[in-house]
Structure 1
Amino acid sequence: MTDDSIHDVPDPEQEAQARRLYGRRKGRPLRKHKSGLLETLLPALSLPVPQPGERVDPHSVFPRPVDDVWLEVGFGSGHHLAWQAKHNPTVGVIGCEPFVNGVAGLLAMVDRDGLEDTVRILPDDARPLLDALPDASIGRAFVLFADPWPKKRHWDRRFIGPDNLPKLARVLKDGAELRLASDDMSLLRWMLEHTVKSPDFEWTARVPSDWRIRPADWPPTRYEEKAIVAGRKPVFLRFVRKPR
């Protein structure tokens, strides 16, 4: 091996950071209204992907003061995020989603309901933002119906796991909720195993209805409704960040 070839050896940490946790970027062609919102509204709401070593104060990304900041990783078509923003007007909600059609769907709801002041979007991977957020800066986090990556060789791409749980624990305030949901039993077992073993989180469930019945302040999503029609039962997991 020459001296020059040393620089071509992959860095395992960089490889782990670069590993994709999402699938395709774009789906069906967008209608004119949604396509237009990507050009007009998204630039006003979009957050740039933080660079290594950069720090982002989540309160500073909103145009007016907010009482708290919540984070949704992989917001899909945006229905849950838009509902939370609409029903919690003093909370700022940051959503991360690389799927262009999902971003366009959320923009349409933001535009319809006038949520421009309390919604911000990172149309990309959530991990750089997690690395940039200050300790104990997020009041609630959501990872709902994430890609289950069913093949065993892809399990390390699942968002909830040993790589990202410490990052979530770092940015969540003491007592903050981490909400997870899925209709895939393999992914649910995986998330439960890793989160229950984490020293930073406590599962709030005490009886079966705690994970079988969605709480009143947790709206249904289109994906959830499709899963129920297909005969798959969603499970709703709530954890709290233990005191430091």
Structure 2
Amino acid sequence: MFNRDTQKFRTFGRAKGKALTAGQQALMDDVFPKFDVGPDIKAGRNPFAGLEGPLWLEIGFGAAEHLIWQAQHNPDVSLLGVEPFLNGIAKATKGINDHAMTNLRLHRGDARDVLSLIPDGALDRVFVLFPDPWHKTRHHKRRLLRTEFIQELHRVIKPGGELRFGSDILHYVDWAMTRFYRHGGFSWSPTQVSDWRMRGEDWPETRYLKKALREGRTGHFFTFQRV
């Protein structure tokens, strides 16, 4: 199993941005605690325990647009979103409140702490969308999709389950794909360029992707199956 104690380096940048508005802070005080699995994580409990339906996990959901869309369009799924950035957590909490959703849980923190508590083969789908590319070579050790992390994803996803990965940084795509192929536990069989250049109908566009396209970067979209 993944040894969290040997992987203490950060895989994400800042943990908060501009100050929350009064409305956001009120939601964090009143609504967030009802959906926060942080206490389970601290107690060493599986955050998915007791949840019903297919179990999905989104790692690093940013502004929560994709997370909220998936929770809205898949009401029978139990979805956990993990994000270290406070402002992203606040946006996800607002989405939960605005749409009166009950199938979404949140954790503000490091996804590695969550994964270490999930039983083998428990998850039906995991999303790792547009992770921080950590451009500088000396920072590559901070990239999320390292070999050890891929192995941990393989452990928690059930056979036949999905791992969705997206990035607009070609160098990061090449770097990650090399490690996926080297691992060998995920299958991906493209037949044409559109297989990784086109989003599926159930893969909504986010503001981050729109910004990347405006700046001339191309989105790359991968759906792996756990073998």
TM-score range, shorter chain: over 0.9
3-state SS in 2 of match to 1:70? strand
Q: How does 1:64-213 map to 2 (within 5 A)?
A: 66-115=52-101, 117-213=102-198
The aligned residue for residue 27 of structure 2 is: 37
**How far apart, CA to CA, are the structure 2 residues paired with 1:204 and 1:73?**
24
Query: Is residue 204–residue 240 contact of structure 1 (8 Å, CA) maintained in 2?
Result: no
Change (3 A) 1:169 1:44: same
Q: Does the 8 Å CA contact 1:205/1:238 hold for their aligned counterparts? A: no
Q: Is the Cα–Cα contact under 8 Å of residues 209 and 219 in structure 2 kept in the other structure?
A: yes
> Within 2, Cα distance between the matches of 1:216 and 1:136?
26
Q: Structure 2-normalised TM-score?
A: 0.94
Contact 2:4 2:113 in 1 (8 A): no
Q: Secondary structure at the match of 2:41?
A: coil
Q: Which consecutive residues of structure 2, in runs of 5 or more, have no partner in the other structure?
A: none
Q: Distance in 1 between matches of 2:4 and 2:148?
A: 13
Q: Aligned partners of 1:127 and 1:204: how far apart in 2?
A: 28
Distance 1:204 1:82 in 2: 29
Q: Cα RMSD over matched residues?
A: 1.5
Identity %: 37
In structure 2, C-alpha distance between the alignment counterparts of 1:231 and 1:78, rounded to whole Å: 23
Aligned counterparts of 2:144 and 2:62: Cα–Cα separation in 1: 14
Q: Secondary structure of the equivalent of 2:211?
A: helix
Letter in 2 for 1:104: A
Counterpart code for 1:151: K
Q: Residue 126 and residue 57 in structure 1: after superposition, are their counterparts in 2 closer, same or farther (change >3 A)? A: closer
Q: How many residues align?
A: 224
Structure 1 stretches of 4+ moved >4 Å:
none
Q: How far apart in 2 are the matches of 1:15 and 1:171?
A: 19
| In structure 2, C-alpha distance between the alignment counterparts of 1:166 and 1:138, rounded to whole Å | 14
Task: In structure 1, give the amino acid aligned to 2:220.
Answer: V
1-structure distance, mates of 2:190, 2:45:
34
Structure showing greater Rg: 1
Answer yes or no: is the 8 Å Cα contact 1:73–1:95 preserved in 2.
yes
Supply the distance in 1 between the matched residues of 2:47 and 2:86 (Cα, whole angstroms).
25
Structure 1 alignment gaps of length 5 or more:
1-12
Matches within 5 A, 1:223-242: 223-242=208-227
Show the counterpart of 2:41. Answer: 50
CA distance in 2, matches of 1:15, 1:195: 23
